[in-house]
Amino acid sequence: MSVSQRRFRLCNGLVILCFVIHVPRAAAGANATAAPWLPATATWYGSAEGDGSDGGACGYGTLVDVRPLKARVGAVSPILFKDGEGCGACYKVKCVMDQDVCSRRPVTVIVTDECPGGVCANGNTHFDLSGAAFGRMAVSGYGSELRNRGLIPVLYRRTPCKYAGKSITFRVNEGSTEYWLSLLVEFEDGDGDIGSMSLQEAASSEWLEMKHLWGATWALIGGPLNGPFSVKLTTLASQMTLTARDVIPKNWSPTGVYTSGLNF
């Protein structure tokens, strides 16, 4: 077993859950250095101290009360949304235009939505943040003044996602059947985004490639599909892989939520 591949075994009674994480050498080296700060613009939406949308183009649904997502949801322009494959990525954003108002303290936001038009169009890099997240970039007591500026220049950079106490979760989307299985993925540490997914049926050695539908939703068409199912994830940014064995049980149900117990 190489140093870039580690195996872990978690046992609970008679249930054995195994997973493999593979870190490509190039990706591991790239993550050792912090991403550079890049220019962008930012606005805010909703109420001034609001937590942001309870929905969005990623399909996560109600997230504003789920820590650590509370007040940290944000919409991004298509250049960062990446047709939905950018969903779940985390960024640090900081205001630098005016030292009397801007604290230069970054706020961490998670991509949950897309802003396709207006200032977000034409290849612009833009963040549309919750009122609370926007205000956190200000010097203490100056949140209202910063929000009154409206559109502001900011600096941003990619940052690892950290979901303390949470593991990767698979939500079976409503309407799924044994011939059309649709999954939404949440709470991925590290890159946060997913570049590819594949599924393995019970008693099979073949991995079936899933299709990215929209947002954070992937699907497999064919069948009949026989559970339990193992799921293999590969991140978009650094091509890390994780395999959750038998994470979706044989008696799965539409709208079911299945927690892997694992994370990157």
| pLDDT one-digit tens code per residue, 170-187 | 999 999 999 999 999 999
In the structure, what pLDDT confidence band is assigned to residue 122 with cuts at 50, 70 and 90?
A: very high
Residue 179's CB: how many other CB atoms inside 10 A? 11
* Last residue of one domain, picked from the residues 120, 138, 158: 158
> Same domain for 19 and 56?
no
Distance CA 135, CA 50 (A): 10
- pLDDT at residue 15 above 50? no
List of residues 6+ apart from 157 with CB closer than 8 A: 34, 35, 36, 37, 38, 91, 92
**Number of compact structural domains in the chain:** 2
Q: Which two tokens stand for residue 37?
A: 């700060």
Does 264 map to a domain?
A: no
Does 243 map to a domain?
A: yes
* Last residue of one domain, picked from the residues 107, 128, 158: 158
Q: Which two tokens stand for residue 129?
A: 């943040």
CA dihedral 163, 125, 48, 110 (to 10 degrees): -10
Distance CA 102, CA 60 (A): 31
pLDDT in tens, 148-163: 999 999 999 999 999 8
Pair type for strands 217-221 and 211-214 = antiparallel
- pLDDT recorded at residue 1: 40
* Last residue of one domain, picked from the residues 99, 132, 158: 158
Distance CA 128, CA 67 (A): 20
> Same domain for 142 and 216?
no
Residue with tokens 């997230």: 63
Does 55 map to a domain?
A: yes
Residue with tokens 């609001």: 50
pLDDT in tens, 193-252: 999 999 999 999 999 999 999 999 999 999 899 999 999 999 999 999 999 999 999 999
> Same domain for 182 and 251?
yes
pTM of this structure: 0.84
Does 85 map to a domain?
A: yes
- pLDDT at residue 138 above 70? yes
Residue 254's CB: how many other CB atoms inside 10 A? 12
Does 238 map to a domain?
A: yes
In this structure, of 64-68, 88-92, 177-181, the range with the lowest mean pLDDT score is 64-68
> Same domain for 233 and 203?
yes
> Same domain for 187 and 97?
no
Going by C-alpha positions, the residue among 214, 177, 212 that lies closest to residue 198 is 212
Distance CA 264, CA 260 (A): 11
> Same domain for 135 and 85?
yes
Going by C-alpha positions, the residue among 198, 171, 170, 189 that lies closest to residue 260 is 170
> Same domain for 13 and 63?
no
> Same domain for 143 and 181?
no
> Same domain for 194 and 171?
yes
- pLDDT recorded at residue 14: 32
Domain of residue 45, CATH code: 2.40.40.10
> Same domain for 123 and 189?
no
Does 221 map to a domain?
A: yes
> Same domain for 10 and 83?
no
Domain encompassing residue 208: 5-29+166-259
> Same domain for 23 and 44?
no
HEC per residue, 88-154:
CCEEEEEECCCCCCECCCCEEEEEEEECCCHHHCCCCCEEEEEHHHHHCCECCCCHHHHHHCCCEEE
| Mean of per-residue pLDDT scores for the chain | 85
